[in-house]
Structure 1
Amino acid sequence: MDVSSLSDEMGSTRVIRMNFDYTLFKEMAPFSPHVMTQVDKLHAKGITGKGVKVVDYTNPALGGCFGKGCPISFGYDLVGDRYDPSSLDPTRRPAPDKDPIDCHGHGTHVAGIIAARDNPWGFNGAAPGADLGMYRVFGCGPGVSDEVLISAVNMAFEDGADIITGSLGSHGGWTESALETILSRVVDRGVVCTFAAGNSGAFGFFSPGGPADGNGVTSVSSFEAVNASVMLYTSHYSTHGGEWREFGFVPATRANWNVTLPIYATSLNTSITNDACKPLPDSTPNLGNKIVLIRMGTCLPYLQARYAGQKGANHIMFYNDVPGASTVSVADRPLPHVRIVSAGMVEPETGEAWVKALKAGSVITVNVTYPDIRGGGAVSPFSSFGPTFGMDFKPQFGAPGGNILSTHSIAKGTIEVMSGTSQATPLMAAIIALIFEVRGKLDPRSLTNLLAAHAVPQLRNDGFRFFKGLAPAPHQGAGLVQAYNTAYATNMLEPSSLSFNDSDHLQPQLTFTLSNYGKLDVSYRISHVPASTVYVFPRRDDPVWHLPMSLRWDFVDAAATLGFSEEQVALAPGRRKTVSVSAKQPTNVDLERCALWSGYIIVNGRDGSSLSLPYQGLAGSPHNKTIVRSDKVILSDSDIFDQPRPPKSTFTLPAPGRFNVTDVLPLGFTNLGLGSRIIRVDIVPLTTCPPKGLAIDDPIGCSNMKTIGQPDMFLGEAQYYKS
């Protein structure tokens, strides 16, 4: 393909196409994530930042070295390559050394977002002058335990870090874990801690990631880049044994390709929304010698992979149901008795053309161009939703994390396009470094207040189009941060958000404080703009009515009514004013479904300043929701984790210290409607003390029962993963 013609077709969109030796077409326009967040304006003034941390120093764009005088100048490897917190193999325990090189490329990508130097690919880091440190906590496998992360945080703190940033997380919602407690203490000592909000947007509200949900920890949401980068690996196809033609695909987390096989589509309907979301029909042939084509839809890819795998599938090619193609994971959950060795994704046009050809026998023609990004500038669909289960406001604010070009490990191609709150978080850390260079170091809470007040809330977008009305505050936080405005701001709001809680605990009145740090008198006007209100739970007739809605949202035309003690405020230089805010929750909503309402208090100054303060509340009572349904609790086993065992099943438990990975153990399995701080399962020896009934002070019906041994209350298992 001619490079000049591609540039004309694509405008400012960056396209990278790969055939393992990749060809690169770079945009000459400013790097859009920097334009979106005003980083380019600070760079124009020579501001480059100082004091962050991240990863893989062998990439030339990261200076190609580690140590004094290098972009990544300090750090430590806490685990070694073979570390696996879920393994019982003693050789998989942490093996620390002084060389913190990353073996996956995830950390390298994060580091490049902060500190990449000028390079042939037309992008650079947001804070290339920063003094970076890297503390490696992942081995070459997935997962890291609490104690390793706590050690890394303590080490970074002792080494004098100004900002600690982490592109990792776990399912959260509570604020009291060991790691979150440590991070909150570090924040109290004056060190800013930014962590990824998580990529669990598909799971709906009340799904913030930990440890970003910790008190004082800055939780970072992701927004889609206005100009997207896409990296497509070039492969070929033919029709009826004819001419070989090119197509582009994005490899999945499992990508052992290099096969030549026919395509089999699980559905010939290119509009289907639940393709392979349930067991495939009996008429399905053995799929072991085919590449299975599946349309993305309303269920998660690992479920589609499971059902295809049950028919023998080894290779799956998804085609997207929204514009573009991205990395897809088929390993979110264990897949017992299923062996998916490779997966990937093609753009919708490619998959639809293949399905049409399979259905009608027509010749397939493929055009590998990347369509317009219809969600550019919007909060990323994958970005996790708040609030916490305690109705704390999360995330705080966001930065571009969707379709981000950055450095990657040399072994895997030097550069890569990736998406996630993992990409938004280092950009946020870099922006903070730039602000510190301009304003001097701020305490974490003042910094959060300042960033939130000058962030810009964005409109709601479903991946295809924008809607009238702002995206819910518990999804985007305060909005898209603005580095330049924050660095030179003379006005501030505090706190960074307001939470009016739920109907049972509604706060009738809260306050915020407006401060004028400028040199002139300023008059301000106070108002508010509601964001989109959305139901947390589905209708009662839904089969999963007790679970928060996921993959689809039910918005309702309702909003809270806010009242202010003052709507006009005049402040002399150095003065501040506290304003009271009352909230009346929306009345025309179904309280049983818990309507999450939110919006932004707007403060416009006569000096041209414009500030906003996000707020939220919940119309309904999560306290009264069903957390565990009796028909959703099953006794399963460690081999097939979510299938019930038949009555009177027998398990042979190994003696202490004799466990083998092949042992099949009993496993309690349930779906929680909402989070629970503690989940306890007791194995009761009925022959010793058969329960005869339930008593208030004796829930398992055996008042004289004693535990056998002491249960482990803390296990060093994999708790956190790359976001």
Structure 2
Amino acid sequence: MKIHTILSAALATATLVSAGKFHQLESDEIKVLPGSYIIEYEDGLHHSDADNVLNANKVKYEVRNKYNVFNGASLSIKSAHMGESLAEMKGIKNVWRVTLHPIPKTVLSVKKPTDPDTVSDHSMTGVDILHKKYKLTGKGIKVGIIDTGIDYSHPAFATKGASQGCFGQKNCRVAYGWDFVGDDYNGYNEPKPDADPMDCFGHGSHVAGIIGANAKNIKGPLKPPQPFVGVAPEVTFGAYRVYGCEGSAADDVILAAMERAFSDGMDVLNMSLGGGSAYKYNPQSVLAERLIARGMALSAAAGNDGGDGVWMVADIGLGDKATSVASFESTYGNHFWFKYGGAVYPYASSFEYGDIPFKVSSGAALAPIFEKNGTLSDGCDPTSYKGAKGKVVLTLGDGSRCSSSERGEFAMKAGAVGMLIQPVELGLLPVQGLPKFPMGSLENRGGVKLIAAYKKKPKNTFKWGKSPVIFHVEGGGAPSDYSSFGMDGELRSKPDIAAPGGNILSTVPVKNGGYAVMSGTSMASPYIAGAHALYMQSRKSKSKSKPKGDAIRQALKNTATVGKMAGHKTFASTVKQGAGLVNVLNAVLATTTLSPDHIDLLDTNHLRKTVKITIRNDGKHTETYGFSHIATDALNSYHKNNTFPLTTPTITDYHATVSFSPCKVKIRPGKSAQVTLHFKEPKKGNAAEFPIYSGYIQAIPRSHGGIPVHVPYAGVKGDIAKVPMLDTDSGFPAVLAANDGKLRDIPEDFTFDLVNDLPVVVVRLGSHTPDFTIRILDSKTKAFLGFVNSPSAGPAFGWLGRDRDNNDSGNIAFKPWFWTGEVFQQADLTQPPVQLPGGEYDIVVAAQRKLSVGKYPEDYEVFDLGSIRIASL
């Protein structure tokens, strides 16, 4: 990424014939690289032509990166030109600020690397059978990873017979790659690229291990805590490092890595980079679509914002052909056990006690610690342990008042022989505990059953197993709570598919111990990348050519396994799990495809009542297909007329009805048939509360052993144009005063000097908007004067994604628009901004409603924030 200095040429200004688009920042949490921009050129405009345009407009700049497939460049601007003025120039199509992406976050895992369920994921997806029976390993397939690099020296990346891995040499599994930034890069400083993509953080190595590690026969100091292999343990890797040892990566560097991966011939590209609510019009999504159109497959993390409610799928996977990946929890675990009242329960020993079964004599009774109202106590009152002598006590795992070790001390002093803790959450959650005192957790449902058995017969006693056995884990095989909900801003079905992402054992750099357990959609996305590799290998052996990325996505989505939320009997919404949990075995073996691979029904006013789907028989025999409709949970986020989505949507049973025409079809080998679907939205549900309903359309082969295929659909009951845009419940939007970056209420009879004191418009979006504007009017005449131009957020017009509930600091999330008095008189950047003179001005905030035409003010949610007075500069 060599920087080239180009001097401004003294040429006449080019005549403007059209204007490009300068894109706003999606959130105030997004950090930018000051003075740096990504520019996309109009189709057919070459780099030399673009240089002439910039020089003719007297722009002084340094080139950070040039792109070919993307057809553009990233620039550091040294003259007074801003993004708005760049977008005005002839031949410029789009301009974005260079934004910074923090090193991807994972969800804190409570599992230990020795816990067997951290490697049980292949049995969930059929990958274990593809390895053993079909000998599919991803051999001959190239998988690129844009991340923190890969510790290629790790023995889990070694070729057969080698003691450690290597890079860039003959027979190295990490055969391609580039370090775009260097160890000291943090996003703000100058990148120092080199040819060595060694990972010094760990995230990229963990991702690579999920795709293709082989840690089955490693001996010595780097022997794994338990043997495991990745999805495709013989793929060839490309390591494209875009992060230093800490900090962030600039998105123009990410674009350069994407193009390098394509030029290196990567078949699949994994991008576990996360990101918040957005539209599909960011630079990475634009480039991703072009790469997929050229044959590459792309897998991207859907994001870990499930705790923020709907409309939160991350940006990179939002393209029409990109694969946005949600996360599922592991299904099975091998756990220690006890028997009580005729039932067998799994449990997990505490960290301090060690990974060993309880050393408690069989025959001890149970002593639940109850509150006075009869509910299970947290055990934080030492006087509540009366009668615990010689017994195993049971407490609630609420850690808000005391720690597990404190509870253990109380139990030991009372003479208890052990302690079990019922977690508030689902699943087995290891606790800290005490050395030598048998203490651990059981599942939430296990605690409920244990108390019921105790109340039925208090004299029941324990029997303790000596060896672990396999259990179906509570919450296992279900979508992860943290996995982000869709839809996107245009009511398109995202995420696309899900994969194991909860508590995954994989590789980390040797210097960091070699192995770790992590959770997140960052872990699910590489699983799908590996699935692509296995599918490619299976088809390459038959047709001697690799299928394109969008065709693979369709096969994986058609054959996924539909899951249920933990503790629920009904199927989870498609906007949580996409097409379901990937079943790679079924994808490889299926001889039927169903297209399109998703159906967007939109809302009541735009309801696609009639949809045609195409079913193709690629089998060897004529096949008859029947059809069925699988309804899923509906999600209600506005059931009390709230103006910001609920962080946990309410699950309802509002189901659409579907009829098929014809009801069955008979298709010869190699032929296709069309079926017409007739949709009716749910009868139940209040349209004013905008419930999101969804389901699957399934085609079922009548022959014995035929694999059914399905496509997900989703829609919104109600007029989506009436969904609240701005969070008025929390007092937004509003105008405040800013002094030295600190916000305060505007004092009475106050004049903003636009130097020390700035007006700032604060907004909090609960939903995507196609066009967010801040308009300035003359207070006396009410004449429109222009759109705010903010030095921090840019022009106040254009699309925006929704805000999170809270930011990383735990405070309510919102976006501030600082104003220095500049306005754009038009929303197309055909003219530069102008400075308003001193005077009184009205501020009007407006957010265009989804799927509306965009006529102002009819199609906007409009808020008149009153008048302010500014001084002349």
TM-score of the superposed pair, with normalisation by structure 1: 0.70
Instruction: Assess if the C-alpha contact under 8 Å between 2:426 and 2:475 holds in 1.
Output: no
Question: What is aligned with 1:397?
Answer: 497
1:19-34 → structure 2 map (5 Å cutoff): 25=114, 27=116, 31-34=119-122
Query: Following TM superposition, by how much is the alpha carbon of 1:74 offset from its aligned partner in structure 2, in angstroms?
Result: 0.8
- For residues 527 and 690 of structure 1, the distance between their equivalents in structure 2, rounded to whole angstroms, comes to 60
- For residues 824 and 290 of structure 2, the distance between their equivalents in structure 1, rounded to whole angstroms, comes to 42
1:30-179 → structure 2 map (5 Å cutoff): 31-44=119-132, 45-49=134-138, 50-54=141-145, 55-63=150-158, 64-68=165-169, 69-85=171-187, 87=188, 92-117=189-214, 118=216, 119=218, 120=223, 121-179=226-284
- For residues 640 and 347 of structure 1, the distance between their equivalents in structure 2, rounded to whole angstroms, comes to 49
- For residues 608 and 498 of structure 2, the distance between their equivalents in structure 1, rounded to whole angstroms, comes to 27
1:707 equivalent to 2:808? Answer no
Question: What is aligned with 2:635?
Answer: 534
Query: Following TM superposition, by how much is the alpha carbon of 1:500 offset from its aligned partner in structure 2, in angstroms?
Result: 0.8
Q: Deviations over 1:502-558 (max 9, x none)?
A: 112111211111000111111111110111112132312xxxx111121x2312222
Query: Following TM superposition, by how much is the alpha carbon of 1:444 offset from its aligned partner in structure 2, in angstroms?
Result: 2.1
Question: What is aligned with 1:500?
Answer: 601
Q: Deviations over 1:35-87 (max 9, x none)?
A: 111111111122110211232213222233222222211111112223233x4
Give the 3 Å change call, closer, same or farther, for CA 699–110 of structure 1 in structure 2: closer
Give the 3 Å change call, closer, same or farther, for CA 698–122 of structure 1 in structure 2: closer
Q: Deviations over 1:356-390 (max 9, x none)?
A: xxxxxxxxxxxxx9997311111111111111110
Give the 3 Å change call, closer, same or farther, for CA 26–597 of structure 1 in structure 2: closer
Give the 3 Å change call, closer, same or farther, for CA 115–431 of structure 1 in structure 2: same
1:200-279 → structure 2 map (5 Å cutoff): 200-227=305-332
Give the 3 Å change call, closer, same or farther, for CA 629–405 of structure 1 in structure 2: closer
1:633 equivalent to 2:733? Answer yes
One-letter code aligned to 1:60: P
Q: Deviations over 1:128-148 (max 9, x none)?
A: 110100111122234323211
Q: Deviations over 1:240-284 (max 9, x none)?
A: xxxxx8899xxxxxxxxxxxxxxxxxxxx9989xxxxxxxxxxxx
Instruction: Assess if the C-alpha contact under 8 Å between 2:594 and 2:613 holds in 1.
Output: yes
Query: Following TM superposition, by how much is the alpha carbon of 1:595 offset from its aligned partner in structure 2, in angstroms?
Result: 0.8
Which has the larger strand fraction?
Answer: 2
Query: Following TM superposition, by how much is the alpha carbon of 1:411 offset from its aligned partner in structure 2, in angstroms?
Result: 2.6
Query: Following TM superposition, by how much is the alpha carbon of 1:693 offset from its aligned partner in structure 2, in angstroms?
Result: 4.7
Question: What is aligned with 1:675?
Answer: 768
- For residues 704 and 103 of structure 1, the distance between their equivalents in structure 2, rounded to whole angstroms, comes to 45
Instruction: Assess if the C-alpha contact under 8 Å between 2:349 and 2:430 holds in 1.
Output: no
2:663 aligned residue (567, 582, 594) = 567
1:539 is paired with a residue whose SS is: coil
Query: Following TM superposition, by how much is the alpha carbon of 1:424 offset from its aligned partner in structure 2, in angstroms?
Result: 0.8
2:508 aligned residue (408, 418, 422) = 408
Instruction: Assess if the C-alpha contact under 8 Å between 1:229 and 1:417 holds in 2.
Output: no
2:274 is paired with a residue whose SS is: strand
Question: What is aligned with 1:620?
Answer: 718
- For residues 699 and 524 of structure 1, the distance between their equivalents in structure 2, rounded to whole angstroms, comes to 57
Instruction: Assess if the C-alpha contact under 8 Å between 2:700 and 2:707 holds in 1.
Output: yes
One-letter code aligned to 2:124: M
Give the 3 Å change call, closer, same or farther, for CA 524–371 of structure 1 in structure 2: closer
- For residues 270 and 217 of structure 1, the distance between their equivalents in structure 2, rounded to whole angstroms, comes to 48
1:602 is paired with a residue whose SS is: strand
Query: Following TM superposition, by how much is the alpha carbon of 1:488 offset from its aligned partner in structure 2, in angstroms?
Result: 2.4
One-letter code aligned to 1:502: D
- For residues 602 and 639 of structure 1, the distance between their equivalents in structure 2, rounded to whole angstroms, comes to 59
2:579 aligned residue (449, 465, 478) = 478
Give the 3 Å change call, closer, same or farther, for CA 416–522 of structure 1 in structure 2: same
Give the 3 Å change call, closer, same or farther, for CA 206–629 of structure 1 in structure 2: closer
1:435 is paired with a residue whose SS is: helix
1:290-301 → structure 2 map (5 Å cutoff): 294=400
Query: Following TM superposition, by how much is the alpha carbon of 1:188 offset from its aligned partner in structure 2, in angstroms?
Result: 0.9
Question: What is aligned with 1:549?
Answer: 646
Instruction: Assess if the C-alpha contact under 8 Å between 1:229 and 1:405 holds in 2.
Output: no
- For residues 111 and 702 of structure 1, the distance between their equivalents in structure 2, rounded to whole angstroms, comes to 48
Instruction: Assess if the C-alpha contact under 8 Å between 2:427 and 2:475 holds in 1.
Output: no
2:291 aligned residue (186, 210, 219) = 186
Give the 3 Å change call, closer, same or farther, for CA 271–233 of structure 1 in structure 2: closer
- For residues 485 and 247 of structure 1, the distance between their equivalents in structure 2, rounded to whole angstroms, comes to 36
1:246-645 → structure 2 map (5 Å cutoff): 294=400, 321-325=425-429, 373-440=473-540, 441-461=546-566, 465=567, 467-540=568-641, 545-550=642-647, 552-607=648-703, 608-629=706-727, 631-634=731-734, 635=736, 644-645=744-745
Count of residues paired in the alignment: 556
Instruction: Assess if the C-alpha contact under 8 Å between 1:180 and 1:215 holds in 2.
Output: no
Give the 3 Å change call, closer, same or farther, for CA 703–74 of structure 1 in structure 2: closer
- For residues 784 and 548 of structure 2, the distance between their equivalents in structure 1, rounded to whole angstroms, comes to 49
- For residues 443 and 699 of structure 2, the distance between their equivalents in structure 1, rounded to whole angstroms, comes to 48
- For residues 522 and 386 of structure 1, the distance between their equivalents in structure 2, rounded to whole angstroms, comes to 35
Query: Following TM superposition, by how much is the alpha carbon of 1:618 offset from its aligned partner in structure 2, in angstroms?
Result: 0.6
Query: Following TM superposition, by how much is the alpha carbon of 1:647 offset from its aligned partner in structure 2, in angstroms?
Result: 2.9
Query: Following TM superposition, by how much is the alpha carbon of 1:219 offset from its aligned partner in structure 2, in angstroms?
Result: 0.7
- For residues 716 and 631 of structure 2, the distance between their equivalents in structure 1, rounded to whole angstroms, comes to 14
RMSD (Å) for aligned C-alpha atoms: 3.7
- For residues 683 and 111 of structure 2, the distance between their equivalents in structure 1, rounded to whole angstroms, comes to 51
Which structure's relative contact order is higher, taking Cα pairs within 8 Å and 6+ residues apart? 1
- For residues 175 and 235 of structure 1, the distance between their equivalents in structure 2, rounded to whole angstroms, comes to 44
Give the 3 Å change call, closer, same or farther, for CA 350–187 of structure 1 in structure 2: closer
2:558 is paired with a residue whose SS is: helix
Q: Deviations over 1:90-149 (max 9, x none)?
A: xx2322111112222111100111121233421111111101001111222343232111
- For residues 824 and 593 of structure 2, the distance between their equivalents in structure 1, rounded to whole angstroms, comes to 61
Instruction: Assess if the C-alpha contact under 8 Å between 2:185 and 2:247 holds in 1.
Output: no
- For residues 629 and 514 of structure 1, the distance between their equivalents in structure 2, rounded to whole angstroms, comes to 44
Unaligned runs of 5+ in 1: 1-13, 18-23, 237-244, 249-268, 273-291, 297-318, 328-345, 352-368, 656-663, 710-723
2:332 is paired with a residue whose SS is: coil
2:500 is paired with a residue whose SS is: strand
- For residues 152 and 739 of structure 2, the distance between their equivalents in structure 1, rounded to whole angstroms, comes to 40
Query: Following TM superposition, by how much is the alpha carbon of 1:347 offset from its aligned partner in structure 2, in angstroms?
Result: 8.6
TM-score of the superposed pair, with normalisation by structure 2: 0.58
Question: What is aligned with 1:255?
Answer: none
- For residues 428 and 747 of structure 2, the distance between their equivalents in structure 1, rounded to whole angstroms, comes to 48
One-letter code aligned to 2:533: A
- For residues 483 and 636 of structure 1, the distance between their equivalents in structure 2, rounded to whole angstroms, comes to 56
- For residues 621 and 665 of structure 1, the distance between their equivalents in structure 2, rounded to whole angstroms, comes to 38
Question: What is aligned with 1:337?
Answer: none
Instruction: Assess if the C-alpha contact under 8 Å between 2:334 and 2:471 holds in 1.
Output: no
Instruction: Assess if the C-alpha contact under 8 Å between 2:635 and 2:693 holds in 1.
Output: yes
Give the 3 Å change call, closer, same or farther, for CA 703–102 of structure 1 in structure 2: closer
- For residues 271 and 511 of structure 1, the distance between their equivalents in structure 2, rounded to whole angstroms, comes to 57
One-letter code aligned to 1:473: T
Q: Deviations over 1:288-320 (max 9, x none)?
A: xxxx96489xxxxxxxxxxxxxxxxxxxxxx96
- For residues 774 and 199 of structure 2, the distance between their equivalents in structure 1, rounded to whole angstroms, comes to 39
